[in-house]
Amino acid sequence: MIGIILLIFVGLILIIAEIIFVPGTTLVGILGLILMICGIFMIFNDYGNTAGYWSVAGTGIVTILAIVYSFKSKSWERFSLKSISSSKVNDQDIYTFQVGEIGKAVSDLKPIGKAEIFGKIYEVRSKGDWIGSGEPIQIVKIDNKRIFVEPIK
C-alpha cells in the first residue's frame, strides 16, 4: 500500500513541477499523470471498486488543492528569474566602423563567430565562407547592427 501511495505522490509532484517549474514541456506532466493513473489502477486491482473510487476522489481533491496552494503561496518565486538583461549584441561601437576596417577572427566563423576589431570582441558573420580562428578579416558590410566580414587574401 505504501508503494501505491508513493507512486501517486510522485505523480502529483511531477504534475505540480510541470505546471510551475517547467511549463510547456509536457513530458514531466505526462509522466506524472501516468504514475498517478498506474497507482489508482493498482488500488482498483488490489483493493476493489470502493477503495478505487475513494482514491480517485481523494487524488483529485489533493491534486487541485496542491496546485492552488502552490500558486497562492508563491513558493515558486524563489526559483524564478528576477533580473532583466537589457544589453544587446554589438550595440556599443558598431556605428564607428566603416567598410574596409581590418580585424582578426577570434573563433571559427561558420558563418557566425567572434572577431577582434580595434581591440574589442564582436559577433561577426561571414558571407557563407568558413573562416578559421586567427585569420585576418575585413569588414565588407554593416547591416542592421550585423557586421559582415570576409577573409583577407
Give residue-wise pLDDT tens across range 90-112. Answer: 555 555 778 888 999 999 998 89
- Please, which pLDDT band fits residue 73 given cuts at 50, 70 and 90? confident
Q: Tell me which residue of 152, 124, 127 sits closest to 138, measured CA to CA.
A: 152
Could you tell me the pLDDT band of residue 45, with boundaries at 50, 70 and 90?
very high
Q: Tell me, what amino acid is at 9?
A: F
pTM across the whole model: 0.48
Contact 81, 58 (CB under 8 A): no
pLDDT in tens, 111-143: 899 999 888 888 899 888 889 999 999 999 888
Query: Averaged over 22-34, what is the pLDDT?
Result: 83
Q: Which of 35, 37, 39 is nearest to 47 (CA)?
A: 39
**Do 70 and 16 touch, CB atoms closer than 8 A?**
yes
User: What is residue 119's predicted lDDT score, i.e. its pLDDT?
Assistant: 84
**Torsion-angle region of 75 (φ positive above 0: left; ψ -120 to 50: alpha; else: beta):** alpha
Query: Stretch 38-64: mean pLDDT, rounded?
Result: 92
